[in-house]
């Protein structure tokens, strides 16, 4: 599997660390319902098919990116950088 890093270009998957489901959201308030904290820590959609997920280019530029990948075919249809560095450079 090859991920097209927005900073480095196409690189082998072994350079990246998987950070899981990108749709998981941290509750904005500490008073948020218990269920929303449970969803943050434990519960996942785990779909067969398109999955929006986070990858970290740990052994190169250390950029975190949001990838849309098919979990059955491993086909990647979109890669977007995430985080302050990427947002600054992509302006």
Binding region for another protein (CB under 8 A): 1, 12-14, 18, 20-21, 34-35, 38-39, 41-48, 51, 53, 71-74
Alpha carbons 82 and 65: distance in angstroms, whole number: 5
**Alpha-carbon distance 20 to 55, whole Å?**
7
Nearer of residues 35 and 89 to another protein, judged by Cβ: 35
At its nearest, how many Å lie between another protein and the CB of residue 41? 5
Which residue, 71 or 89, has its beta carbon nearer to another protein?
71
**87 φ/ψ angles, rounded to the nearest 5 degrees:** -60, -35
């Amino acid at each position: 599997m090859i991920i097209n890093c927005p900073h480095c270009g196409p690189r082998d998957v072994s350079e990246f660390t998987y950070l899981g489901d990108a749709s998981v959201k941290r509750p904005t308030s500490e008073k948020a319902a218990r269920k929303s904290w449970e969803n943050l820590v434990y519960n996942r959609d785990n779909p067969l098919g398109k999955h929006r997920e986070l990858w970290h280019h740990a052994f190169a530029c250390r950029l975190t990116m949001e990838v849309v990948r098919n979990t059955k075919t491993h086909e990647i249809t979109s890669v977007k950088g995430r985080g302050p560095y990427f947002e600054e450079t992509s302006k």
